[in-house]
Amino acid sequence: MTTADHAALRQQILDWIEADREALIAFFSGFVAAASPNPPGDTTVAVKHLTDFLDGEGLPYRIVDPEPTMANIVGSFDGGAGPGRHLVLNGHIDCFPVDPDDDRWTQPPWSGAIADGKVWGRGAADMKCGTTAGVMTYRYLHRLKDHLKGKLTLTCVSDEETFGPWGARWLIENEPEVLGDVCLNGEPSSPYTIRFGEKGPLWLLIEVRTRGAHGAYPHQTDSASKIAAVLVGELEKVTEIEANMPDNVFRALGQAHEAMDKAMEPGAAEIVPKVTLNIGIVQGGLKVNMVPDHVRMEADIRVPVGIEKEQVLAVVDEIMARYPQASYEEMNYTPPSWCEPYHEMVEILQKNAKESGGYDPVPIVGLGGTDARLWRHKNIPAYVYGPPPTGMGTANEHVEIETFLHIVRTHALSALDYMVKAAE
């Protein structure tokens, strides 16, 4: 393919996106309005929103639903110009729930309202904007398939918010079609960053048990709540463990300090390479005048690239050994994941982000988890480029319309560039 032919295909995609502007916004709005909170996890209405569109466009796909209320959509097509590389587009359909008593929303959380130049509602940023970008990329490249080599696969999955036992994790373990050579994901990252890795969650259940007593007789027993309070303070020692990062990861993060703070708020860059501790749940005590005999805590420890779980647990074990009243067990662990920060796909995304929106994104490691980790754990490079996480997990989640259209353009052009280069 000549440079001129390639440029013509790129312009065709841009022309389609501009012509479809209002339809794209309406699709995104309707997707947000198709409530899919997880828990409970029923994504039926949102899945239908996607499949109705795919059917209307005559695009190939199939439903993979090991859990029928959490169906996954998998679509693939081969380029008409012969064999080449395999690009996988990944996005999720489910989203966080909403507290029905939360009165901070300026637009109803399940409305998909279009107001003030934004699309509002739960799931707008996390991640129906990015999933829409994947669907539209699949649509536009299918129109150009005769010019492409290789294979393009779309995966729209349910059950991401609960670590994907019926979603991406199930597909990775049971559907080899979804593996590919590179994965492109549209989770919230901000247009200023490209996530090539993420920290790993290590969740611990910690329990403290004592005899307990009447509150007027504290001499008779240790207090489970006081021991728990001291333990929380001591567990901060895990944050002092130093990471031994690969050189390319260390170099990339060193160049991205300002962008990480811009994308994830000031202070983010300082904790990306560090272990962090959050005590998410503390339960204990029955009455103010009783010495508690049982406290239950759940700790969320985030492990950066360059630190192994065993290093963290060694520190935890050392601390816990000093408190015979306390015990812990591992609730969940996903290792930190990363891939090459200077990969070809990063360069392609950077070029298109600059040309289609004036952004200059840099490769970073993210604080939160995405399904992209599952491809990385299979040694498949996986990159995340999406909108800012505005309102993610709280009130007034939204995405600016111009940002949404920028994400669509960047994904579609980047997928094209990757597959056109495969044909050269």
Reported as a single tens digit per residue, the pLDDT across 87-140 is 999 999 999 999 999 999 999 999 999 999 999 999 999 999 999 999 999 999
Spatial separation of the C-alpha atoms in residues 146 and 141, rounded to whole Å: 9
The C-alpha angle with vertex 273 and arms to 270 and 277, in degrees rounded to 5, equals 80
In the block, residue with structure tokens 């991205």? 256
List the domain boundaries for the chain.
3-198+336-422, 200-333
What per-residue confidence (pLDDT) applies to 424?
44
The C-alpha atoms of residue 268 and residue 366 are separated, in whole angstroms, by 9
- Distance from C-alpha of 320 to C-alpha of 317, rounded to nearest angstrom: 5
> At the top level of CATH, which class does the domain 3-198+336-422 belong to?
alpha beta
**Residues linked to residue 290 through DSSP beta bridges, in sequence order:** 214
- Place 53 in a pLDDT band, splitting at 50, 70 and 90: very high
On average, the pLDDT of the chain sits at 96
- Identify the pLDDT of residue 48: 98
Q: What is the mean pLDDT of residues 296-307?
A: 97
Rounded CA separation 206/228 (Å): 9
Asked if 382 and 372 touch (Cβ cutoff 8 Å), the reply is yes
pLDDT tens sequence across 25-50 = 999 999 999 999 999 999 999 999 99
What digits encode the pLDDT tens for the residues 54-86? 999 999 999 999 999 999 999 999 999 888 999
Tell me the CATH number for domain 200-333.
3.30.70.360
Q: Say if residue 422's pLDDT is above 70.
A: no
- pLDDT value, residue 355: 95
Of residues 73 and 420, more confidence is placed in: 73
pLDDT above 90 (res 146): yes
Q: Does the pLDDT of residue 163 top 80, yes or no? A: no
Q: Report yes or no: 153 and 58 within 8 Å, Cβ to Cβ.
A: no
The token duo for 36 is: 């899919």
The pLDDT confidence band at residue 373, using thresholds 50, 70 and 90, is very high
pLDDT at 423: 41
Phi, psi at 132, each rounded to 5°:
-60, -40
Instruction: At 371, list the tokens.
Output: 């399904």
Backbone angles phi, psi at 154, to 5 degrees: -105, 130
Instruction: Tell me what the mean pLDDT of segment 309-331 comes to.
Output: 97
